[in-house]
C-alpha cells in the first residue's frame, strides 16, 4: 500500500475524457517540446482518434493529471505484452509501461518529481505491478536522464519504426521508495 505525502496529495488523475480533454491535449502534444510524442503534425481530430483507440483497449489507459484542480500532465499506462514494445524485449510478469507528458508552464523546482511520485504511487497500488517500463526516444536526453536519476536501469535500444527507443526499467522497490510507498514484501 502506498502512503500519500503532502506534496503528492495535491495531485489527482482521472481517465481522459475525449470530449472535454482532447482540445487541451492537442495543444500539449503539438508543441515543439513534445516532439518525441510523435503527434506534432496531427490535427485535433487525429489526436482524438489516437485517444479513442487507446480508450478502446483494455491494456492501455490514458489519464489527465491535475495539480490543485488544474490540468498539468498526461499519464499513460500500457501492458507491454499487448503493445509493439513487448515484441522487442523479454516481457516479465508484472511489467507496466508508462508515458508522461508534463504541460508547459508546470515546471517549477520539484514539481515533476512530485508528479512522478504521485503517478508511481497510483500504479504501484496494484501489487501485480513489479516493474515500470519506459521507452523514451534515444534522442530525448532529458527524459532518459530523469529516469536514470530516479534509479531506472537501462535495457537495450529498440527500433519501433517511428522511433529508436531506449528501454528503461524501474524495479518495484525503487519505484516504491520514490513514491513514498512501502512494501511488506
- A 10 A CB-CB count for 96 gives 20
pTM equals 0.89
Predicted confidence (pLDDT) per residue in 22-74, tens digit: 999 999 999 988 888 889 899 999 999 999 999 999 999 999 999 999 999 99
Q: What angle do CA 18, 19, 22 make, to 5 degrees?
A: 60
| Res. 174 pLDDT band, cuts 50 70 90 | very high
- A 10 A CB-CB count for 107 gives 10
- Res 19 pLDDT > 90: yes
Where exactly are the structural domains of the chain?
A: 8-179
For the domain made up of 8-179, the CATH class stated in words is alpha beta
Amino acid at each position: 500500500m502506498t502512503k500519500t505525502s503532502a506534496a503528492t496529495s495535491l495531485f489527482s488523475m482521472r481517465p481522459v475524457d475525449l470530449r472535454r480533454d482532447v482540445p487541451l491535449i492537442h495543444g500539449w502534444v503539438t508543441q515543439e517540446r513534445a516532439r518525441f510524442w510523435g503527434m506534432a503534425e496531427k490535427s485535433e481530430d487525429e489526436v482524438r482518434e489516437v485517444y479513442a483507440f487507446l480508450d478502446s483497449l483494455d491494456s492501455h489507459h490514458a489519464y489527465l493529471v491535475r495539480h490543485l484542480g488544474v490540468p498539468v500532465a498526461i499519464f499513460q499506462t500500457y501492458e507491454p505484452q499487448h503493445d509493439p514494445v513487448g515484441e522487442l524485449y523479454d516481457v516479465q510478469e508484472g511489467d507496466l509501461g508508462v508515458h508522461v507528458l508534463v504541460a508547459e508552464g508546470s515546471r517549477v523546482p520539484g514539481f515533476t518529481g512530485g508528479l512522478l511520485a504521485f503517478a508511481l504511487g497510483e500504479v504501484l497500488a496494484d501489487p501485480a505491478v513489479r516493474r515500470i517500463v519506459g521507452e523514451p526516444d534515444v534522442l530525448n536526453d532529458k527524459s532518459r536522464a530523469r529516469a536514470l536519476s530516479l534509479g531506472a536501469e537501462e535495457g537495450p535500444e529498440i527500433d519501433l519504426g517511428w522511433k529508436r527507443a531506449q528501454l528503461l526499467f524501474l524495479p518495484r522497490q525503487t519505484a516504491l521508495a520514490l513514491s513514498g510507498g512501502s512494501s511488506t514484501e
